Amino acid sequence: MAAALHHLFVDASQALAAFASGRSLTEALERTRAEHRAGAQALAFAAVRAQARCTALLKRLLARRAPPRVDALLRAALAQLLELEEARTAPHTVVDQAVQAARRMAAPQAGLVNAVLRRFLREREHLLAQVLREPEALYEHPLWWQKQLQRDWPEHWQALLEAAQQPPPFSLRVRGELPAYLARLQAAGLQGRPLGTLWPQGLVLEPPCPVSQLPGFAEGEVSVQDGAAQLAAPLLLDGAGTLPPLPSGARVLDACAAPGGKTAHLLERRPDLDLLALDADATRLQRVDDTLRRLNLRARTLAADARDTAVWWDGRPFDAILLDAPCSASGINRRHPDVRWLRRESDLAVLSHTQAQLLDALWPLLRPGGRLLYATCSLFACEGREQVAAFAQRQPAARALEVPGCTGHLLGLPDNAAAVPGDGFFYALFQS
C-alpha cells in the first residue's frame, strides 16, 4: 500500500476538504477514482474518527490554520500516526507519502507538511497528554452529543461513544437458504457467520469485502443490510410472529423508502404485497428503483412528501405502514462517523417535529386493525421513546405492541461476548 499511499492521501484529502465545507463524506467519496475509493475511504474515515484530536493537535502544531486541502491532508496523515499500534505503514513512510501527496497537489506547503508531521512524532506523548484533557478529543464526539447520550443513557453513554469508534459489522441479507450461501462464501474464500435466531436470512462477513466479490450479488441473491435494519420487515409483516400475517395482496406503504433496503426486504418475504414506496427526494428515490431492479422486485415508487397526503393518497386505506422517519442518524454513527460532526444540536428539535408530523399524517390512512411500524436509526430518546409516548397521548386508540428484543431502543451494544452488535435503532409497532 505504501507505494500508492500518496495517491490515496490526495483523494482522501479532497473528500475531507469537501466534508469540512459541510458535505457528507460518503457523497464526497463518490467523486473519488474507483480504483482508489476503498483506500481513500479508509483514510478519510480514520481522519473523521480522529477529528477532535486532529483539530486540537493542529492548533498546537500550527501558528495559523493551513489552506483547506493541506489541512485535510494533515488530518489524514495525523490519523494514521495516531494509531501506531495498529498501523500497517511505518511512521516515516506515512510522513514521506504525505509530503509526496502535497507535491502532487501542487501545494507550496509540502515543507510545512513535513515539518508538522515530524514534530508530532517527536512530541507525540507530550502533545497527546495535553489534547486528551479536552472532552471532545477524549471521546471524539461533539460535547452536545455526549451530553445528550448522558441524559438519555446514563449507564451506557461511555460504551456508546467507544463503540462508535469501532468498525461496524458487515452484515448481509441472503435471499435463499442461509446454510447454502454460507457454503458458497467459503468456496469463494470468504468467511461468514449467522447473525442469530432473529435473523433467519442474516449473516456477518468477516472480514468485509467489496460487494462485487460477493457470490450472486449482481443476480440479486444477497444484499448488504445491517442486522438492526433487517428487523423491520418481520416486525411489519407479522409482528415478528406475534400478529397474524398480512393477507395476500395487502396494501403496504413504505413512507420514507430511500435507499430501498427495507422496501426490498418486505417484497422478498412477500412478493404478493401491493406496495407503494414514497420518498420526498426524487434523486434518492432512484436508488430504490435501482435496488428493486437488481433484485427483480416490483413496487410502485413515487416522489412525494408523505405528510402531504392530499397530493399523493388515493383514499384507499393501507393494511400496514412502515415509517422509517428522517432522523439524526445517531444510531449509524459508527458506520458514518461524519454524522456526529455534520449534525447540530438544534437539528433534533426540527427532526422531532417532522417525525411527529409524519406520524399524525399517516396514522389516519390505516384501515381498522391495520398496523404502523415507526422506525429511526437513532439513539436519542427524543426520536424514540419520547416521540412515541407523545404520539400515544395524541392517539389514545393506537395500541402499542411490544416485541421483546425487537421493539424499543436497540443500542447496538452486545449483551455478551458472543452477541453480534449492529447499528443503533428504535422500533415502535402500533395497531389501530
Residue numbers annotated as active site: 377
Closest of 136, 127, 114, 21 to residue 72, by C-alpha: 21
The contacts of residue 149 (CB under 8 Å, 6+ apart) are: 156, 157, 160, 161, 379, 380
Closest of 231, 250, 256, 239 to residue 357, by C-alpha: 256
Residue 299 CB neighbour total at 10 angstroms: 21
Closest of 404, 335, 395 to residue 370, by C-alpha: 395
User: What does the alpha-carbon distance between residue 288 and residue 354 come to, in Å, rounded to a whole number?
Assistant: 22
Do the bridges between strand 274-279 and strand 251-254 make them parallel or antiparallel, or are there none, so unpaired? parallel
Query: Cα(first)–Cα(last) distance of the chain, in Å?
Result: 57
Q: Cell numbers 467489496 correspond to what residue? A: 210
Show the beta-strand stretches assigned E in 126-241. 170-174, 192-196, 199-205, 222-224
User: What does the alpha-carbon distance between residue 285 and residue 304 come to, in Å, rounded to a whole number?
Assistant: 10
Contact 195, 183 (CB under 8 A): no
- Helices and strands (H and E) in the chain: how many: 18, 12
